[in-house]
Amino acid sequence: MSGEDAIGTTGEELARCGFAALVGRPNVGKSTLLNALLGRKISIVSPRPQTTRTRIHGVLTRPGMQIVFVDLPGIHAKQPRAINRYMNRTALASLADSDVNLFVIEALRWTEEDERALGELRTAGRPILLLINKVDRAQPRSRLLPFMAEVSAKADFAQVVPLSALKRKGIDGLPDLIAGYLPESPLLYPAGQVTDASDNFMASEIIREKLTRRLQEEVPYGLVVEIEGMGQAEDEPGKLVVQAVIWVERTGQKAIVIGKGGELLKEVGRAARLDLKQYFGRPVHLELWVKVREGWTDDEAALRRFGYET
């Protein structure tokens, strides 16, 4: 970029700026990749599919570039409840709005949901970078190159990049690669901003992550965390008080979340407090309650209340 080209008509310095959506079926490592690229945790991660429920922006600013990564819910075929339909709509609506789409798949695995996601990406008409994640787990290794060749032939991909988000391998050059597909413009966010998510949203997601990691079977899919209050502790200057309600959709799930003698909820509270302290950079007092709202995952009004705009 020349000196003349680097200044816009308003006098602001220009950079390669734009939106890059992380797209793919559930559980391919999109959130892990986002966190690795940003160098800090913005999107919650668990081994369970469909942990990401809504659009999350993570902002990476470097000299000459600003990439706004859009972490999306996984595109999935089955949509039995309103929340599943919401997640699909959220994911699909972002594809055409992005400057470049990052199609994340799992090494040595191609499914019908991958095929569906690729079809939606073709329809969106934006450049597609194929990111083949989890290459460190690919066994036998002899299958990796044939798999890459086979998948690369499925579409006119702008680039094909093998990587491991978990091991942070193959990602160092990715921002420069992505920036090449972004337009020149003034910065979209202040240089020090890493996400546009609210403090309430981040607090609720941190708590939900701890619950998801500790609960079994279908319970994680039937809960949502609502922040009822967040503010300064009256008796301890510098301490943040967070009050949160964990909503479940069946009475039987309430006892499971609380655990025998309240132990599971205490464990979740301890783990969440540590992450909240790290995220907000100050001591945290966390208060948790568990309540029931029958069938909230298939209730449009409840989804709107909990921030899932339908």
- C-alpha to C-alpha distance for 228 and 207, rounded to whole angstroms: 13
pLDDT of residue 9: 44
Mean predicted lDDT score pLDDT of the chain: 91
> What is the pLDDT averaged over residues 285-303?
94
Q: Does domain 199-305 have CATH number 3.40.50.11540?
A: no
* CATH 3.40.50.300 in the chain, residue ranges: 15-185
Question: Is the domain 15-185 a CATH 1.20.1440.230 member?
Answer: no
- pLDDT of residue 5 exceeding 70, the answer is no
Asked whether the beta carbons of 254 and 290 are under 8 A apart, the reply is yes
Q: pLDDT band at residue 4, thresholds of 50, 70 and 90? A: very low
Number of residues that this document lists for the chain:
310
CATH 3.30.300.20 domain residues, the chain: 199-305
Amino acid at residue number 180: G
Cα angle 134, 179, 107; round to 5:
15
Angstrom distance (rounded) from CA 53 to CA 150: 31
Q: How many Å apart are CA 91 and CA 212, to the nearest integer?
A: 21
| C-alpha span between 165 and 35 (Å, rounded) | 9
First to last CA, the chain: 42
Amino acid symbol at 147: F
144-158 core/surface letters (b: 16 or more CB in 10 A; e: else): beebbeebeeeeebb
List the one residue out of 184, 185, 133 whose CA is nearest residue 162.
133
| pLDDT tens, residue by residue, 21-37 | 999 988 899 999 999 99
Percent of all residues in the chain with a pLDDT value above 90, rounded to a whole number: 74
